[in-house]
Every structure is written in structure tokens, then in C-alpha cells.
Structure 1
């Protein structure tokens, strides 16, 4: 038994990125606990949460709307990654890996959204 969204590759990848961001953010300085740390975690979690919520909606139009929220949350994560890199909280390597994963997921999500009829 499983939910429809659990079989979606975009949801699976969003879950993985969310966990990677969560782990990474533990290394941010204490002064960021209520700022960048909280922001990047909430945005990263929102990606998968919105995919799941939209997938059980009443209409495809509603699913498209939630996919839009999910895409915007991913853009927010990328912006937070830039901020973390600029503030030297993460290495170039960490940034590049998560940036590439985010870029690939963004492309998949945009294509998926376009194909919702």
C-alpha cells in the first residue's frame, strides 16, 4: 500500500534534497538558527510537501498550483545556498553538488508541471 506521490521521481528527489539540506544546515553557525538555517530547512521541506499535497487534490489545476509552490520553494533553496556559500557556511564542493541536484530537479519539476493536463 502506498500513496500516489510516493512513486513520483520528483517527490523522491525532493525528499533526498530536503534531507541533505537538513544535514548540511546543522553546520551553520548558531547565530543563523532563526534566520538562514530555519529558512533553508523550511523551503527544502516545502518542495516535497507541496508535491504530495497537490497530488491528492481535487483537480489537475490544483496540482499545477501546488507544483508552482514547489518550484518556488526550490528556487528559494537555491538562493539560500548562494547565501550560505557567500557567508562561507558551506564549501564550494557542497554548493556545487546541491546546486546541480537542484538544477536537475527544477528541470524535472517544470517539465512535470507542463505535462499535467
Structure 2
């Protein structure tokens, strides 16, 4: 998910948004509301909103240096799980449409 990609354009829905809300609140130790996520559906907009509230996000590791050698492997975040679920839902819808189209051709 890029900084300027809209959560909903990527297949996000209100149920996934609640999962993302929980993940953000847990990761940042804040009390971000669902309305905040609806209002700020991109990473960039949400970061600006959190910055304006004074909620500091953990610093990202420097891409050149990579993670610290003794750093644990990152666990799947709620946002990552939400993205994966949205991708699975899109694939399932596409498969259903293809199956329906094949059925229509056979009977048409």
C-alpha cells in the first residue's frame, strides 16, 4: 500500500477499517476513531492527522541500513492482514464472475 493509495480504492471496507483501527491504536498507543480513518483514507493523510494530534509514529528503519541485526522479524500488522483479506475478496469475486460467464456461455 503506497502512501497516497486510498484504503477503499484498494478494496477496503468498513469491517477491514475496524481491524486497521485496532492495529493503528495498538501500534501507536493512541485512541484513533473509525471516523478518523474514514476521513483520512491514505497513509499520508493519516500521518498528517496523527502528527497534528501529537501522536508520534515509531520511526521506520532506514532503507539503506535495513533492520537492526538483532531485530525480530516483523509480525503481520492489522493493516497487512486487512490488505491481504481485501486481495482475497477481490480474487473470489473475480472467480465467481468468471464461473458465471462460463455458465452463461454454455447455456446461451
TM-score normalised per structure 1:
0.27
Higher RCO (CA-CA < 8 Å; seq separation 6+):
2
> Which has more radius of gyration?
2
TM-score normalised per structure 2:
0.28
